[in-house]
Structure 1
């Protein structure tokens, strides 16, 4: 009888401490939780031995724990510091640390204290989600148990299942250590299940104070926006998309709140920024939105207009929301060796990476009707430089390559001209351009009243486009005498400058060329696109172009240039 009275008191205290309704939700998980009684300055306190989780910080934990913190926070803080004297700085806690959180002052009148000063209380899971209790057998592990339910350990579904497992089993501090015969609780409902269902799953039966939609939800299967799916946008942003099921926000009132992800999809970016989308004909009350904001501090809201809405408008709303926190624009200009790369995009943003990794940039721009497909090799090239480039097609589809792409290009190295000797250089240039180079050509010209016979080198680029090249064979006024006969002569300057000599050859032969050429991967009427600027000379040919440059042209660019009829030729000394 005495033991029965004790259990009644304990259960009543548990309900009082944690605000759990006496009528438990139908699918609440009921399990026992162990608390510790600690003494401080002559008083006994019921304490929760809490295991610090990832992304915890001390004041976040304090806000969620116990009546002392709620009634007198400064008194609570003093008690906490004395009970956790081993923590020298409460702002420095680490995952796996065990801390004692004082919940309530207790006496023999309110809660019988056993000699061991530990209390086991029947406790309804705050998530109010069903959980299966299993007994550990030989060969079981956390990953094996969870993968049976939630699939691939690398999936978002599995990661969410692991997070819920930790919540349901706070006493397990080492996930690699399970004991045969030990009871553990496995989550059966995830906040954001990965599913291919086309119709929304049923809401939980205990969805009492749920975050709900308006009375007139959209028709089943209605697209988010015309021709642009949220899945495409998530891929573009390299984000996780949660658009099925319900997301649970723990709370003390009727099990907390549930966000209907079918009506209010959520994207989570790598930097933990979340975008909450509100579909057409759906709405959140200000109080419900406050609940969401209280859990997700870095939250952006995007309201999807009613169809029809263009992909341009939709993407513009997303970037407007993301840039509310003054994000830096994405990297749009960089040097790759001697080559300058310039991206003129409509939208761009930069995302900081952890672990010393380079920042990632995202550039997005709409393309005009009738444009050719963007070269896959350049998507990959930009990704290799930590730039994810996407385009919005006229039909609303998104095309691009993720920053994880490692595609290779099978192509030979470009021709190389060693500019170590003037005659060798001219011979190789002529060969690369399809010209004719002749050495020891006999010529005859009048000089000082005497007919002079001589030999010289000649370059011919076609009919009526020939010239002699003087490598120092002629002296005095002989060059003027040769030109007087109608022959063109290119003379070598005192110092050998390969590009200076190439300029004189092209000018003499009346060949069109461009200095420091810029090649557009995508050059639209609005000026947007991707551009490569090379040091050197671009020569116009009858059937294409030749780029003479000192830059080492990456293989991806070589292949792109080849598709544009441009042959890259490197000049080095």
Structure 2
């Protein structure tokens, strides 16, 4: 009995200690240290790359008594430090949530917990059960801390030249020497600590000279005498107190880059983004390309609509409106406004048949539409009676509408009798029908109108072409009719920014 008691006692001790030992062994594997050349170890939750950051988030199944604001308060460091970023990250992580106030029990949402800057030289590796640190290093092609091939990393508080280089997608060279040719065929040594250089892919290198250095001599030679190949090297003059925005502007002005516009076609809109500078950066093994579009603006009133900034960012197009802020601070991308403060509800008209859509359109526009009017016209020597649809525009103009009921020479005979008739093909869509009616009625309209996301000239702006028709009613009000389901930010821009109601045409059944 004594032996059995001892065995059971030992078993109880082991059973109590074993979970603690396992926890101590597993915890080191679940930690992560984002340092250059190291591996990012993510624990049980998931990391999602979002606009240059890794968003660490946790899946959450919505409970009957859950609401989003409570989840925001309970979850994550990001919500406490920057609520706006947390809110917009939630929308990008949960594209299936169209209304943040309407989450349903059983629905799975991703709650952002923390935002982590992905440093250069890091790699992703999914930790397998039983992996040791050595195995992880081998699997991910580990780089040692003193490996000379490590790309540079900038400190948290970047100097203005470093920040400007980062915005331009380049690299700041501010240590060591760079050798320049002279007109005499010799070379001179450029001290990069005094004259930093920005190196960018596919563009000439740019040397930064302070405005009080332009008369300096390098190795006893005037700067003007040094042979500069404009295809490979350019000089930008900046002030000693230049901000990152000032440096970016100086660099862009000498590069004279005029990139072609970016175009996107999404959900009934064609978006064209034109900027002074567009930089492309490949993501996810070159499968996805993110574009940074930079434009200098003189006043905050010319900033791009915040809702469109957020929407384009979700499409990997980042809008940078750069304006002189306090002490020359670079202020972009602009933080979007919180959702819920804009009305994106649209009106609707019946569009299940051609007759129904014309009747609904006429009622809204103040036209008089009669679907069954008796008409009489001479045909082959006799007076013919028929029934047709008649629309009167209220300005003395009217027209008969034929939906394919008239045959032969009847249409010509009706027109010879002084009645204008519009023949509508059976496959004609609502916008086509509206355009033909408005042409007959002499009413101002524009097919596929273009709206701009910023209150500035079209030269460097975001143009949004909507597949629909813009109509000026006799009351002076404008209406935008479309049979497409437009993206919510576009709807909000048109209705709130331009004050134009959008009328959604019900799609044919």
| TM-score between both structures, scaled by the size of structure 2 | 0.48
| TM-score between both structures, scaled by the size of structure 1 | 0.44
Rg bigger for which structure?
1
